[in-house]
Amino acid sequence: MKLSNVRFDHGLLNNLLSSHILRIINKMKKIAFNIIDVVEYDYNNTDGTISNHRVAVDVANFTSLTGKPDGMTIDIDDNLWIALYGGGAVIHANPRTGELLQVVALPARDVTSAMWGGPNLDILFVTTSRVSLTDEEKKYYPAAGGVFAIRHLHTKGLPVFNAKIIDSI
């Protein structure tokens, strides 16, 4: 399946059963690239094909929020945690219904990504940026550029990658 007008994408991941792939795509519209969708595909993990493209979460429907999806992760309930760049928050959303479940506000405007960690994968680590902030905005958001550890979210993540650490190369 080939998608046209895709400028770049973020947050590529698969669900618990590896039956769906989710991604954040940034599409070009005329000259600007300002349409951002969280999309889902059916995924055949036998032959690697994808099909049935659909919008899983349309952040534009959440009119009380600002910012655009940047990075995301998934929890054990197959719900998404989506960083809102320019929105100062991570949102918790159900990709099957598109429903907004929760908003976690952060003391940084540009939220870039989220990943589960900790011994039980029950801490949501969230990264932020300060690169595009003015000097005045940096005073208003002194924690921008930091990594935040969010606990007590009543869910946890899935292990994403296994790695073998080699002592020497």
Tokens for 110, please give them.
């540009």
pLDDT at 3: 52
What distance in Å separates the CA atoms of residue 84 and residue 57, rounded to the nearest whole number?
13
42 is in an annotated binding site: no
Residues 6+ apart with CB under 8 A from 50: 1, 21, 41, 42, 43, 44
37 neighbors 24 (Cβ within 8 angstroms) = yes
41-46: long-range pairs with CB below 8 Å, 24+: 41/1, 43/14, 43/18, 43/19, 45/18, 45/19
Using one digit for the tens of pLDDT, what is the confidence trace for 97-142?
999 999 999 999 999 999 999 999 999 999 999 999 999 999 999 9
Element (H, E) at 140: helix 135-140
Q: Show which residues are catalytic.
A: 70
Q: What is the mean pLDDT of the chain?
A: 83
pLDDT at 167: 77
What distance in Å separates the CA atoms of residue 86 and residue 23, rounded to the nearest whole number?
19
In which residue ranges of the chain is pLDDT below 50? 1, 28-34
- Domain architecture of the chain: domains with CATH: 6-150 (2.120.10.30)
pLDDT at 28: 46
71 neighbors 26 (Cβ within 8 angstroms) = no
Across the strands, what pairs with 94?
A: none
